[in-house]
Chains A and B, each alone.
Chain A
C-alpha cells in the first residue's frame, strides 16, 4: 500500500488556508495546515512532508524566513516549496526565495489548475525521489550482503523452497567448478553424492523442509558434494530455513565447509596408528618367528651337509633353505618397518649417494643385464654427499630399484633414471622408470603395508612402506607420481645441509 503524502500549507489568513484546502482536495494527499511560521516548524517535526506551500507575506516570520529555517534543518533541507505571494511579485522577493532554495512561485491570484498541476508534479517528483532513495538503500544493503557472501571461504547456497539453487557465492563456484550461469536453477540434490542420506530431504518431493531451530541435527552433517566433474568432495553441511514474516517457508540457506584437508589428516593419523600397531605386532612376532626360523634353517643346513649332492633330496633341501631365508628376509623387513631393528640405530655420517646407489646396482646387476635395462645416473656435484644413515638409505634405493625393474620388465622401453640434485637445504632424489605405472585406484594404497600388485611370492608389500618409514625417520619426505602405461616417478626429499668441509674446499 502506498503511503499517503503530506502537504504543508502555511498562511496567516484562515480564508486562504480554507481556499487552498478546497483546491488540494483534488490531489491524493493529506493536508496539514499552519497559520504561522512557528506552527509550521512544529508540524515539520511531527510529519514528513512531500511539499510545503507557503504564503510569503505573514506577520512575524514571513515565508522566506520560514523557508530558510527549513533549509537549515537536515530533515527538511530538501523539502520542495511553493511560495504564494499576493502583494510582492517583484524580482527582489523572487530572488530571495530562490536563494533560500525555493522551487517555485505562484502569484496571487492564481488559477487553481496551475497550482494543482504544480503540486502534482512536486508530489510525483517527491514520490520518485523516495523510491530512488529506497532503491539506493536496497542496493547498498545488497552490495553489503553480497560482499559478505563473496568473502566467505565456506560454500554458501541459497535454495528456493523447492530446493533449487538461487544464490551462490564465489567459494561455491570455485569449489564445484561450475560457471555461475550453469549452477543457478539446479536442484541442490543433484550436487549430493547419490548415496547420501539427508535428514532434511523429505523423500518423495526432495523438498527442503527443515526447521533448524527444532532440529539441531541439521548442523555439521558430513556429506559428499559433487563437482561439475563428478568428483566427490567431503564437506560439513549446515542448513537453516528462512521464513517470511507470516512464517511461510521461503527457502533454505546451506553452508558447506570443505573438509578435505581435515580428512587427509585424519587418514594420515589412522595410517600412523595402523603402522604403530603393526610395528608392535611385528616386533613381538620377530622374536617368536626368528627362533623357529633359525631352527628350521639350521636343520635344513645340517641335512644338506649330510646329503650327497647326487641325491635328489639335496636339491629339495636347497629349495627348502631358500624358502626359509625368504621368510627370514620378510621378518627382517617387518623389523625395519617397525623401527625395532638395530639398523635404525645406525649412526648418521657423511655418505656418498652415488656410492650407495652403485652398491645397489651391483646387487641388481644380474637382473639389469638379463632384462637389458638402461640405467641413467644424473647426480649434481653439490648434492652427492649427504649426512644420513647410509645403510637405511641404501635399503630405500634397493626397494625403489627392485620396483622399477619389476615395472619395466615387460616393456619395450626399459629405462630407469636416477637423479640427484639440491633444492635449497634439501637433497632431492628422483627414481623414475618407463614401466607399467600405477593404476590411479592403487595410488592411495601403495604405501600401505602388505599392499602389493606383484604375483604371490614376488613381493611382500612392504618395500614402499618400509622405504617411506625409513625416509620419514631420516627427516625426509617422499611422494610418487605415476601414469599407467607411461611410468612411475618416486621423489625423495631429504634434509641435507651441505658438507661444510667440502664447501670450504669449494670456496677456495
Chain B
C-alpha cells in the first residue's frame, strides 16, 4: 500500500523541495500552502506522515497540529521550522498537553528529508 505524506508550508520553495526530494520514492506526497487547507486534506483522507511549517500566515503550525490531533491522534507529525523562538511557549504547552510531535530545524537537505521520511515510514535506520 502506498504511504501518503502531507506537507503543509506557506513557502512554495519548501513544498517543492519536499516534492523533488521524495520524487522517485514509493511515497505519495501532497502539499498545501496553509494550515486550514491541511486540515481539510486530513479530514478527506488518511496520511501516514505530516510535515508542518511552524510560522505561517493564518493558522500557525501549533494550531494546525492541535486540529489534526483532534482528527487523528496517532499520525506522526514533524514540525519543521527555521526559528521557533517566538513559538517556544506554545510548543512547550502543546507538548505538556500531550500532543505528540517532533521538531526539526530548517534548513534540511534533500538527503535529510529522504532519510527522515524513510526512517519514519519504513523503519529504516539510515537516519
Interface residues of A (CB under 8 A from B): 283, 286-287, 289-299, 301-302, 305, 328, 335, 340, 342
Contact = CB atoms under 8 A, between A and B. Distances in A.
Contact of A299 (B20, B81, B84, B113): B20
Nearest to A300: B110
A301 B111 contact: yes
Interface of B: 11, 13-14, 16-17, 20-21, 23, 55, 81-85, 105-111, 113
Nearest to B54: A287
B82 A287 contact: yes
A292 B13 contact: yes
A295 B108 CA distance: 9
A294 B83 contact: no
Given A287-B82, A335-B83, A340-B83, A294 B108 contact: yes
A320 to B, nearest CB: 14
A291 B20 contact: no
Interface centre among A286, A298, A299 (most CB of B within 10 A): A298
Given A287-B55, A335-B83, A342-B105, 14 more contacts: A290-B107, A291-B106, A291-B107, A294-B82, A294-B106, A295-B13, A295-B14, A297-B107, A298-B13, A298-B109, A298-B110, A299-B17, A301-B109, A302-B110
Nearest to B85: A340
A301 to B, nearest CB: 4
A335 B85 CA distance: 10
A301 B106 CA distance: 16
Contacts of B108: 294
The main secondary structure of chain B at its interface with chain A is: mixed
Contacts of B113: 298
A342 to B, nearest CB: 7
B67 to A, nearest CB: 22
29 contacts: A283-B83, A286-B82, A287-B82, A290-B82, A290-B83, A290-B106, A290-B107, A291-B11, A291-B107, A292-B13, A294-B13, A294-B17, A294-B82, A295-B11, A295-B17, A296-B13, A297-B17, A297-B109, A299-B13, A299-B20, A301-B21, A301-B109, A301-B111, A302-B21, A302-B110, A305-B110, A328-B107, A342-B84, A342-B105
Nearest to A298: B17
Contacts of A340: 83, 85
B16 A295 contact: yes
A291 B105 CA distance: 11
A488 B105 CA distance: 36
Contacts of A298: 13, 16-17, 20-21, 109-110, 113
A298 B20 CA distance: 8
A302 B13 contact: no
B83 to A, nearest CB: 4
B21 A291 contact: no
Interface centre among B11, B16, B21 (most CB of A within 10 A): B11
Contacts of B110: 297-298, 301-302, 305
A120 to B, nearest CB: 99
A338 to B, nearest CB: 9
A346 to B, nearest CB: 14
Q: Which are the 8 A-B pairs with shortest beta-carbon distances?
A: A295-B13, A298-B17, A290-B82, A294-B107, A287-B82, A301-B110, A302-B20, A287-B83
A290 B11 CA distance: 11
Interface centre among B11, B81, B107, B111 (most CB of A within 10 A): B107
Interface centre among A293, A295, A297, A340 (most CB of B within 10 A): A295
Interface centre among B13, B82, B109, B110 (most CB of A within 10 A): B82
A254 B13 CA distance: 68
Contacts of A294: 13-14, 17, 82, 106-108
A301 B82 CA distance: 20
Contacts of B55: 287
